[in-house]
Amino acid sequence: MSSKKGLELKPNPRTGRYRLISGNWKMNLNHLEAIQLVQKLYFGLRDVDYSFSEISIHPPLTSLRPIQLLIESDRMRFSLGAQNCYFEASGAYTGEVSASMLSKLNVKYVIVGHSERRRIFGETDVVVAQKVKAVLSEQMTPILCVGESAEEREAGQTDEVLMRQVRLALAELSGETVSTLVIAYEPIWAIGTGLVATPEDAASGAQLIREELGRLYGGSVADRVRVQYGGSVTPTTAHDLLEAEGVDGLLVGGASLDAEAFSRIIRA
């Protein structure tokens, strides 16, 4: 990403980690609408807005190439992200897209294991782990989504679910590799529901994830992994969620489809 002098991305002075705010557009906007939204977002942000957080945009597949060209031709300080990919490199997998196809488009981040993929498309922890590996093998960064459902939360199983999802998704990876990942804590009950977790919920999810990383790979790896919060984030809730202990950024769905709302979240 290019940067103007004095306005380069700064790490959070409290943690030394770089914040990341990601917009997951899900299955919304055709490529013409996508271009318009990115332009609107770009014109609404000031140079200083890029110095606190890296910003990644995750449009549907049909918009990746046009947005890549837009970002690169106008030297926009957005990172390109994808919402999913398949774990095989190529072959008879109708409808799927490989990690290497994404990396050729200069995609930097790939969301893996989003709860909608797990729930609607039946992705298991094993599939999620294969996808994490595929993304890493193409020098991209997975944004691994983990989170408990409302029923699991009510049954007091949040810790168990988060620990299992983290452990299985990262199985066989070295600590050094794990330290480069982004993990999004996305309580399922808060995604697309308007029910936002409190900053305390977000902090406690981030802590559970880091504790499990610490047990598996040691404290210094756990300290380097960036943990986002995701689930019905709005401009009103963004600031307090970003300030929550252990939270290094936000994964934003619905509100990232509105340039004004997403830029207010970025400024939060």
Residues that bind ligand PEP (CB under 6 A): 24, 26, 186, 191-192, 230-233, 251-254
- In the complex with ligand PEP, which residue's Cβ is closer, 70 or 202? 202
The CB-of-119 to ligand PEP minimum distance in angstroms stands at 12
Residue type, 92: A
- In the complex with ligand PEP, which residue's Cβ is closer, 117 or 224? 117
- In the complex with ligand PEP, which residue's Cβ is closer, 187 or 217? 187
> 């837009």: which residue's tokens?
70
Give the C-alpha separation, 131 to 236, whole Å. Answer: 34
Of 116, 123, 148, 186, which residue is the catalytic one?
186
Contact 196, 190 (CB under 8 A): yes
The CB-of-56 to ligand PEP minimum distance in angstroms stands at 12
The CB-of-214 to ligand PEP minimum distance in angstroms stands at 25
The CB-of-146 to ligand PEP minimum distance in angstroms stands at 12
Q: Angle at CA 205, nearest 5°, toward 166 and 234?
A: 115
Check if 114 is active-site.
yes
* Alpha helix stretches (DSSP H) within the chain: 31-44, 64-73, 99-103, 115-120, 125-137, 150-154, 158-169, 175-178, 199-217, 219-224, 235-243, 259-267
- In the complex with ligand PEP, which residue's Cβ is closer, 15 or 28? 28
CA 71 to chain centre: 19
For CA atoms 74, 78, 83, 89, give the dihedral sign.
Answer: positive
Check if 186 is active-site.
yes
Of 114, 123, 148, 212, which residue is the catalytic one?
114
Q: Which residues belong to the active site? A: 114, 186
